[in-house]
């Protein structure tokens, strides 16, 4: 299945019903903004007892399709959040006049929906795949306080194919339930990649079947602060049902202090003069056993995480320990590297990327790997995380000129917080505003919001992430010219934040105000 390539499907053309209060015909609460959105005054009532989802007669997917069957149940609750009576999401038990949303899934090759047409009492969504049908989140266009529908036309398609969120689960352990809640919120904002930065210096919570000591000795706690194989499968399954792919990251040779606790001879012994200091540095690139271990671990990771991409890290490698180690220096002389330790890192990363190629995985690496002129396959994806706008624009130009595909994360490190409405800074990012040809700009395949975990755990993850991440979501999905005004975006995002809260996402407020549904019954 195509992941990071350019779209081969046409734009999405569909006619959609929107639930709005009487006399209102705006795009209140719709986020990200569709490419073209027009609403008529014609409206119909919606009856939760008569409303159901179904498969079209010509659909390649039918009852038993796990992704859509689950979506029908999930979206019914989103459309009618206050309805507590009996109902059938498939219409089998309905008596009398019915209101249906029919799904026609045409083929298994593409990712996004093409057409949703609506008439009185009936809507029909035509999609190339189930993923397209799930991402056609018609529930977002429903005004939840009044079950009336306005006829609306939408022409919509995502601007970039990669729209990701990174969670760091090493600096603080994030329980599975908090990860699943994040996946729910991601789907509401049309994010489609969960970048799981699962291990790092502080802890190794991934429970490896092949190397159980990695988590037994490297996790904060060997029983309570680990992700079992079952936990990982649960996260992947939950994400899949929401059209989200899970991208694992096992960052090396740096950021590996926790690895060394459970795997002897993996990290480089640091020296003070001619004697070991007792400290350890990055992975030791001079030992054949290092590559044997990495090949075995990555083989397991590749079988546990089915995605065709894997993130290999490669950033922030401190050379001081390598410089102090006489065996590493001798290896460098043998290899003809002299005293250029960037060549040593390049040697290591090239070997690790070759391992993933052998495993039929495509590597994603942080920008440092490119900056050190490492020889990596052309299909490797480069991930920009450093610099001011001027600096990352230069990096975008250099990388795409070299013919490499690129992800942009530098302007969306939202673990950095400040007083006020900092979402406006994330909203005004222009990912393609760099010097380059049209062909170069096609190589920018998307971007990513990063939530690093130095000061974030399950207690503050959700309000710190939402709705600030949604600002980046609209930038990665919507037309940039139509969404250039933060002032026009504010009321929509404010209303969308209230929608998130109503859906169980504890998103923080944007500014002074209230949500219409809050404190009901008090």
Catalytic residue set: 316
Rounded Cα gap, residues 193 and 477, in angstroms: 13
Long-range CB contacts for residues 53-56, cutoff 8 Å, separation at least 24? 53/89, 53/90, 53/91, 53/100, 53/101, 53/102, 53/103, 54/90, 54/91, 54/100, 54/101, 54/102, 54/103, 55/102, 55/103, 55/104, 55/105, 56/102, 56/103, 56/104, 56/124, 56/126
Residue 42: both structure tokens together: 């014609």
Bridge partners, 37 (sequence order): 154
Helix count and strand count (H, E) for the chain: 17, 17
Give the whole-angstrom CA distance, residue 102 versus residue 82.
23
Residue ranges of alpha helices (H) inside 305-422 are: 320-324, 326-335, 341-358, 368-371, 389-401
Hey, what long-range contacts does 292-300 have (CB within 8 A, 24 or more apart)? 293/211, 293/263, 293/266, 294/252, 294/351, 294/352, 294/355, 295/355, 296/210, 296/211, 297/208, 297/210, 297/211, 297/250, 298/250, 298/352, 298/355, 298/356, 298/359, 298/361, 299/359, 300/208, 300/209, 300/210
> What gap in Å lies between CA 200 and CA 218, rounded to an integer?
10
Local structure of residue 63 (DSSP, 8 states)? T
Torsion angle of the four alpha carbons 41, 98, 94, 125, in this order, in degrees rounded to the nearest 10:
-80
């Amino acid at each position: 299945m195509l992941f990071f390539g350019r779209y081969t499907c046409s734009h999405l053309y569909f006619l959609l019903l929107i639930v709005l209060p009487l006399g209102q015909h705006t795009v209140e609460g719709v986020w990200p903004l569709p490419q073209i959105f027009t609403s008529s005054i014609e409206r119909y009532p919606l009856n939760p007892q008569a409303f159901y989802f179904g498969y079209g007669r010509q659909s390649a997917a039918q009852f038993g399709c796990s992704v859509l069957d689950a979506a029908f149940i999930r979206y019914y609750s989103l459309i009618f959040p206050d309805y507590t009576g009996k109902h059938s999401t498939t219409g089998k038990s309905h008596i009398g006049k019915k209101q249906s949303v029919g799904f026609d899934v045409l083929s298994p090759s593409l990712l996004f929906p093409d057409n949703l047409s609506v008439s009185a009492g009936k809507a029909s969504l035509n999609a190339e795949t189930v993923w397209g049908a799930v991402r056609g989140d018609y529930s977002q266009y429903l005004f939840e306080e009044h079950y009336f529908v306005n006829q609306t036309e939408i022409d919509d398609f995502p601007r970039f194919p990669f729209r990701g969120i990174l969670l760091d689960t090493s600096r603080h352990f994030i329980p599975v339930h908090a990860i699943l809640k994040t996946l729910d919120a991601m789907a509401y904002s049309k994010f489609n990649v969960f970048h799981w930065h699962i291990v790092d210096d502080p802890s190794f919570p991934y429970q490896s079947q092949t190397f159980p000591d990695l988590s037994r000795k490297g996790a904060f706690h060997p029983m309570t602060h680990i992700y079992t194989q079952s936990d990982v499968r649960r996260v992947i399954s939950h994400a899949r049902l929401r059209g989200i792919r899970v991208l694992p990251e096992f960052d090396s040779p740096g950021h590996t202090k926790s690895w060394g606790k459970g795997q002897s001879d993996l990290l480089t012994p640091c020296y003070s003069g001619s004697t070991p200091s007792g400290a350890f540095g990055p992975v030791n690139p001079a030992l054949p056993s290092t590559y044997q271990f990495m090949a075995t671990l990555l083989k397991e990771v590749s079988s546990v995480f089915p995605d065709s991409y894997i993130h290999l890290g490669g950033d922030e490698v401190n050379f001081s320990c390598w410089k102090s180690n006489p065996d590493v220096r001798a290896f460098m002389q043998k290899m003809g590297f002299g005293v250029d330790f960037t060549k040593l890192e390049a040697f290591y990363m090239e070997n690790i990327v070759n391992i993933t190629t052998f495993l039929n995985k495509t590597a994603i690496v942080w920008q440092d790997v490119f900056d050190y002129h490492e020889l990596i396959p052309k299909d490797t994806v480069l991930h920009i995380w450093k610099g001011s706008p001027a600096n990352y624009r230069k990096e975008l130009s250099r990388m795409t000129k070299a013919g490499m595909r690129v992800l942009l994360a530098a302007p969306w490190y939202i673990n950095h917080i400040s007083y006020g409405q900092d979402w406006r800074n994330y909203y005004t990012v222009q990912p393609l505003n760099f010097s380059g040809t049209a062909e170069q700009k096609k190589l920018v395949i998307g971007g990513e919001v990063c939530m690093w975990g130095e000061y974030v755990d399950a207690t503050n993850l959700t309000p710190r992430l939402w709705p600030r991440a949604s600002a980046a979501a609209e930038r990665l999905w919507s037309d940039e010219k139509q969404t250039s005004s933060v002032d026009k975006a504010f009321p929509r995002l404010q209303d969308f934040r209230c929608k998130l809260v109503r859906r169980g996402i504890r998103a923080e407020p944007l500014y002074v105000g209230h949500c219409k549904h809050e404190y009901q019954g008090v």
